[in-house]
């Protein structure tokens, strides 16, 4: 029979998947398969028949007249004893039909396949049987039992000895204080730090302090060859002399007025001129003070002993540490615009923490704060001083300012720190120990809850805030339930068996 005729016969006989497999096998071993099939008087393939010993073991809806003397025995064992027993004959005889296992269990499905020896067709039949098993499932006969339902997790029951190794925790509403764990950066306390601007224009003549030096209020920091400074001193000297002379003339005119030597109007004009001169003197003096001229220099000018070298002096406005030096000798300064130095009191600093909107409701002004850094094993203490009214558009967080003491000046500007803000108002909720919470195959949290019959049931929970060694359980548990805290892994192992 030619290959096309074989295909036509197979189609006419309602060819199943097995016939399709044999047809593909024929293309591989064409001539050999053709010779073997020509010896059969008929071929009707619904299922592949098996031969055990010298007796044919027919399968449902299948007949085949292959010569038996060429075969020894073929035994196919199912992957499950259930399918095997359904088709086992009484008295331990071989089964009357063969159960087909799914392709994914092929390695477990076929235990023994003994075919006739010495014939090339044995290879084709063995491969055909494997293909049938992989293409068809364990299909019960019509009217047979329905397939078993999938297995679901059930409660776990322990022996008395096993229960003795289990520890429990009773779930009850508990009071706890939230701790907001965030990060922050160190900054100078703006109430105790200042940037010194040049009070007058001119080139820097000398720098009198070095970076990091401790300075006192009024201490000279740098000298500047400033024409503004010289002009201010000259203006004060002129105003001072004019005010003195005008006052003397006004006093002399008052004496003359008493003896009717001058008119009343002239005496009054002298008083007005003296008052104007004194006002100009006071304005010039204020100009000197704004230029940070010291009292000693002003006293010398008033006594008629002006300084031999007129140069401006930049002085420290507050006491503290010189943390920034922004000018160099010879640099030209612009009055009121050029930043020269930064002086800060480092005994107290600000921590600018970032708190997100989910936690901002728990933060109040005055809440205690702990600042943790890598520079010290001991945390720094602080207090919430201000909560910003704006949200950062980049980070979508709210800036919380913390004031902290800085012993040893260990906290430096722009240093990153960990900030633990302890909420002053306590919260209430159901807490479960961390050891009681396990994870399933989907990485979802669950606990084992003791049942009234002594068994343990798996209960999924939703974790909330972690308070120390416990988690707040927002859903999944009720007050009064007993959960496993020690030994949960053992219970999970038993449940997975």
Query: What pLDDT, in 10s, does the model give residues 432-462?
Result: 999 999 999 899 999 999 999 989 999 999 9
d(CA 65, CA 38): 11
Do 427 and 177 touch, CB atoms closer than 8 A? yes
pLDDT of 8 reads 55
- If one compares 33 and 4, the residue with the highest pLDDT of the two is 4
Query: What pLDDT, in 10s, does the model give residues 220-242?
Result: 999 998 888 788 888 998 999 99
Do 230 and 310 touch, CB atoms closer than 8 A? yes
pLDDT of 48 reads 37
Question: Taking Cα atoms as reference points, which of 229, 241, 221 lies closest to residue 199?
Answer: 229
d(CA 77, CA 66): 22
Per-domain residue ranges for the chain? 3-135, 160-177+427-496, 180-225+312-423, 227-310
The answer to whether residue 4 scores a pLDDT higher than 70 is no
Q: Which CATH architecture has domain 180-225+312-423?
A: Beta Barrel (2.40)
Q: Which CATH architecture has domain 227-310?
A: Orthogonal Bundle (1.10)
Helices vs. strands in the chain: H and E counts, helices first? 12, 27
CA 88 to chain CA mean position, Å: 61
CA 155 to chain CA mean position, Å: 36
Whole-number mean pLDDT of the chain? Answer: 74
Structure tokens at 481: 């339930």
Strand spans (E) along 326-436: 332-333, 339-344, 348-356, 368-372, 380-391, 397-405, 416-422, 427-433
Kindly calculate the radius of gyration of the chain based on its CA atoms and give it in whole angstroms.
Answer: 51
Query: What pLDDT, in 10s, does the model give residues 92-147?
Result: 444 433 333 333 333 333 333 333 334 444 444 444 444 444 344 444 343 344 33
- Domain 160-177+427-496: give its CATH code: 2.40.420.20
Predicted TM-score of the model (pTM): 0.53
């Amino acid at each position: 029979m030619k290959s096309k005729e074989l295909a036509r016969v197979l189609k006419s006989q309602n060819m199943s998947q097995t016939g399709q497999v044999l047809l593909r096998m024929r293309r591989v071993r064409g001539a050999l398969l053709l010779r073997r099939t020509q010896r059969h008087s008929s071929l009707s393939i619904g299922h592949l028949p098996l031969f055990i010993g010298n007796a044919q073991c027919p399968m449902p809806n299948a007949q085949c007249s292959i010569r038996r003397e060429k075969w020894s025995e073929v035994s196919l064992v199912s992957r499950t004893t259930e399918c095997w027993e359904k088709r086992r004959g009484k008295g331990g005889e071989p089964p009357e039909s063969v159960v087909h296992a799914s392709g994914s269990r092929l390695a477990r499905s076929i235990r023994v396949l003994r075919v006739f020896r010495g014939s090339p067709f044995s290879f084709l039949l063995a491969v055909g049987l494997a293909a049938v098993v992989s293409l068809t499932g364990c299909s019960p006969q019509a009217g047979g039992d329905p397939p078993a339902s999938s297995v679901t997790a059930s409660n776990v029951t322990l022996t008395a000895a096993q229960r003795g190794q289990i520890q429990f925790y009773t779930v009850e509403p508990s009071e706890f204080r939230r701790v907001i764990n965030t990060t922050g950066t160190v900054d100078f306390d703006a109430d105790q730090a200042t940037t010194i601007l040049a009070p007058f224009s001119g080139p820097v003549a000398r720098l009198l302090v070095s970076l990091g030096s401790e300075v006192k209020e009024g201490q000279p920091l740098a000298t500047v060859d400033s024409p503004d400074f010289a002009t201010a001193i000259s203006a004060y000297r002129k105003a001072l002399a004019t005010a003195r002379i005008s006052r003397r003339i006004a006093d002399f005119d008052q004496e003359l007025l008493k003896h009717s030597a001058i008119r009343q109007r002239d005496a009054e004009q002298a008083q007005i001129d003296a008052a104007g001169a004194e006002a100009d003197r006071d304005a010039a003096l204020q100009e000197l003070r704004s230029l940070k001229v010291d009292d000693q220099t002003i006293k010398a000018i008033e006594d008629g002993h002006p300084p031999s070298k007129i140069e401006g002096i930049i002085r420290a406005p507050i006491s503290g540490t010189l943390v920034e030096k922004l000018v160099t000798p010879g640099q030209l300064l612009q009055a009121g615009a050029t930043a020269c130095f930064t002086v800060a009191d480092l005994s107290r600093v600000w921590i600018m923490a970032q708190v997100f909107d989910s936690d901002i409701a728990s933060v109040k002004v005055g809440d205690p704060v702990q600042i943790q850094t890598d520079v010290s094993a001991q945390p720094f203490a602080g207090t919430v001083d201000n909560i910003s009214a704006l949200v950062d558009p980049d980070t979508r967080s709210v800036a919380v300012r913390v004031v902290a003491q800085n012993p040893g000046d260990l906290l430096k500007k722009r240093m990153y720190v960990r900030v633990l803000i302890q909420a002053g108002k306590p919260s209430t909720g159901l807490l479960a120990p961390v050891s009681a919470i396990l994870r399933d195959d989907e990485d979802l949290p669950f606990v084992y809850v003791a049942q009234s019959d002594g068994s343990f049931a798996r209960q999924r929970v939703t974790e909330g805030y972690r308070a120390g060694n416990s988690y707040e359980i927002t859903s999944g548990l009720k007050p009064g339930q007993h959960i496993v805290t020690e030994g949960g892994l053992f219970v999970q192992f038993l449940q997975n068996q």
